[in-house]
Amino acid sequence: MKERNEDKRKYLENFNPDVCELSKCEHQDFLLSKFNAGESFQQFNEFLVEEALEYAEEGNGVTYVVFNQEYDEQGDIIDKDVIAYYTLAVTSIPYEDRIRLDEEEAKKLNQEFDIQICGIPSIEIKMFAVDEKYQDHLEM
């Protein structure tokens, strides 16, 4: 069984990832338009090209693009692909903080606890997609 699984694995030979915030990725429109998450995931392709920048402007999340870069012997970039992208947003996880009131205050308010709504700061992954070319691959 192990041998069969290893035969099906695909490997990336030249994997040099670089991450760029979408709003700071200059002159990348052509590469972004080539992004394809797969036949059933057209909405992810459209989000990257049509909605991600507006999403950031509205304060809904920031999109980061992961590129794979190929270099020549001099260290200059000769080819670049979009591997994936992800959109992060700040949020919080709400919880109730219950503080027991002292006896006098509890009698006056006719309740046993003071309840405060609080939040734990967190980051939410709003969108995440990998180009079809890079799905199900391992790095060599």
**Enclosing H/E stretch for 124:** strand 113-130
> Residue 9's pLDDT is what?
67
pLDDT of residue 115: 79
Burial class (CB in 10 A: 0-12, 13-18, 19+), 132: middle
Tell me, what's the pLDDT at 4?
A: 53
Residues of the chain with pLDDT under 50: 1
Q: What is the pLDDT of residue 1?
A: 45
Which tokens hold the place of 103?
């006896």
Cα–Cα distance for residue pair 80/16, rounded to 1 Å: 10
**Token digits for 90?**
């700040």
The one-letter amino acid code at 56 reads A
| pTM > 0.85: yes or no | no
- Neighbouring CB atoms inside 10 A of 133's CB total 14
User: How far is the C-alpha of 122 from the C-alpha of 86, rounded, in Å?
Assistant: 16
Distance between CA atoms of residues 96 and 79, nearest Å: 52
Per-residue model confidence (pLDDT) at position 19 = 93
